[in-house]
Structure 1
Amino acid sequence: MATTATHLTLRHEAIKPKIGARILNTKEELLSGALTDAVNDLLEQSGVLVFPQLHLTDDEQVALTNLLGGNVPELRGQSVFPISLDRSINKEVVDYLKGSLFWHIDGTMNPVPIRGSLLTSKVLPTWGGNTEFANCYAAWDDLPEQKKVEVENLKVVHSLWNSQLFHSPEPTIEQLKDWQAKGEVELPLVWTHKSGRRSLVLGNTAQQVVGKSMAESARILHGLRQFATSEPYHYGHEWRVGDSVMWDNTGTLHRAMPYDPDCGRLLHRTILLGDEPFA
């Protein structure tokens, strides 16, 4: 007799001690809903979950995202968003997506950031295009105590326009005004989560530490980013068509590695509803 969904257990293996787990259950088991709590718990512990060769359809990806906490409508209201720098696929938002090539957290400009994202590979690049992740929970835990004391109460100004300068350092004044119109926010450098855990809030939107000079701010932010994205907190995923990867956006940095923008590389993204403001 087949095992019923209520008796399913989550089968997984660690990718690295401080980041990442590989899920070994079938697509049918995951979509049954019986593993939802276990998957969410493991996501918080590991930061990144790899679902090898699930070959999710868009409908299945939306269903899995809803099971894990709720699927959030994308930029233009769609349930699934195509991630590609190929202008034949994403002409209107290619410049915005260029920011994904640099370390970032999604939604730093929002009062409540998304909880995470799920990507499924549809078309591979001709070269490059791995997606990298860094566990900012584990990085905070391992910071020397003196460094924790120095940074734990700092605030940081975040802005969209700062992130755009990473890929377009010489914008027109019209571009700059458009980016700056999106505003700025002050966020804690160290996020104390409702679980009691703490993580570093870093990435390309981080512009300046409040009360510090630009030079000192850069040393603080770049130094922490270098630490958080180093071994053993870093994982780079080499995609195969049909792979799905989910990450905890509240405590994990991510970025895409460079690739030929015209090669048609394509990932389908769904995003998980956030339920925790920065604090």
Structure 2
Amino acid sequence: MTETVHRAARAPRQSRPSRPGLDAQGCIEREGSLGRIPRPFRPVVVAARDGLLDLFGNRLHSAYLYGSVPRGTARVGRSDLDLLVALRDEPADADRDAARALDEALDKRFEQVDGVGTLLHGRARLLSDLETYDLGWFVACLCTPLLGEDLAEYLPRYRPDSRLARETNGDLALLLPRWRDRVAEARTPEARRRLVRYTSRHLVRTGFTLVMPRWNGWTSDLHEMAEAFAAHYPERADRLRAAAVLGHEPTDDPAVLGSYVDDLGPWLEAEYTRVHGTKEPRPA
């Protein structure tokens, strides 16, 4: 009996294996870099950078790329260009209108991209305590610096834990009513395809972050996310795998959107709340 106790004491402690996307300390590594931008997209990025400087001037604190372009996985004519801009003050409606006009001009000018989208926030909000594990994490881990001072220098390192899961994707209860309204308003095939693409990606990411602490890693690949989810929820695996496909190749079938807002979405919302709780509310 004593020897058994000694052998147990000498045995190395078993730790969970870490997955891709983490550094040696188990923190999420920043994905993407300017060096990974595919050559066809480089003129678009240069034009976006110059346009933002012209638009906001000294008010611009920093700008970032995120998504498939800085990850090096963008497809010509199929992928969009995603940007996040931090202003030194809080943006007004006129600023958002101006950014939207620049997005539309870039999309029209460059055939390489299928849409351009810019998220606009004030520096103070991005660094606020309330956003540390949501927008702050997004900037520090998923955004590639393009202009200005990198806000990641002021943010913590992040682990794939339940707190991060809750604060990034624990808001489906708020989103689903808005999605239902958008489904009712999406009357053209193109509008439905765009909505299928957006909601498919969001649901896959929500399914992934639901199991992220158990998977113990990070990925932005929709198919890898679906497989991580499938290992823990096999009864829902086919639904999320299908959503991962539609995130890249969306359909205009209204039945898909109906299944999202009436079945998969509500189930994910309830299971997410049970496992991780609900995201802290943001001010209106």
TM-score, length-normalised on structure 2?
Answer: 0.27
TM superposition score normalised by structure 1: 0.27
Higher helix share: 2
Q: Which protein, 1 or 2, shows the higher relative CO under an 8 Å CA cutoff with sep ≥ 6?
A: 1
